[in-house]
Copies of this chain bind each other. A is one copy, B any other.
Amino acid sequence: MTKHKRTVFYVSDRTGITAETLGHSLLTQFDGIEWEKINVPFLDDIAKAHRLVERINHAAKLDGYRPLVFSTLLKPDILEVIRQANCRVYDFFETFISSIEEELHQPFVRIAGRSHGLQYHLKYFKRIAAINYVLAHDDGVNPKNFTEADIILVGVSRTGKTPTCLYLALQYGIAAANYPLTQDDMPKMQLPKILEPIKDKLFGLTLSASQLHLIRQERRPNSQYAALTQCQREIQWQESLFQLFDIPYLDTTNISIEEISATILDRRGLKRQLYG
Contacts and interface: CB of A to CB of B under 8 A. Distances in A.
Interface of A: 6, 14-18, 20-22, 24-33, 37, 39, 41-42, 68, 72, 88, 90, 92-93, 95-97, 99-100, 103-104, 106, 108-111, 113-121, 124-125, 127-128, 131, 135, 160, 162-163, 166-167, 170-171, 215, 218, 254-259, 261-263, 265-266, 272, 274-276
A25 B72 contact: yes
Contact of A21 (B17, B33, B39, B111): B17
B272 A39 contact: yes
Contacts of A266: 39, 41-42
A127 B163 contact: yes
Contacts of A124: 256
A116 B51 CA distance: 32
Nearest to A120: B256
A257 B275 CA distance: 9
A95 B28 CA distance: 16
With most chain B CB atoms within 10 A of its CB, the pick from A128, A171, A254 is: A128
B15 A259 contact: yes
Given A39-B272, A116-B259, A276-B276, A97 B20 contact: no
A163 B258 CA distance: 18
Given A118-B254, A128-B163, A30 B109 contact: yes
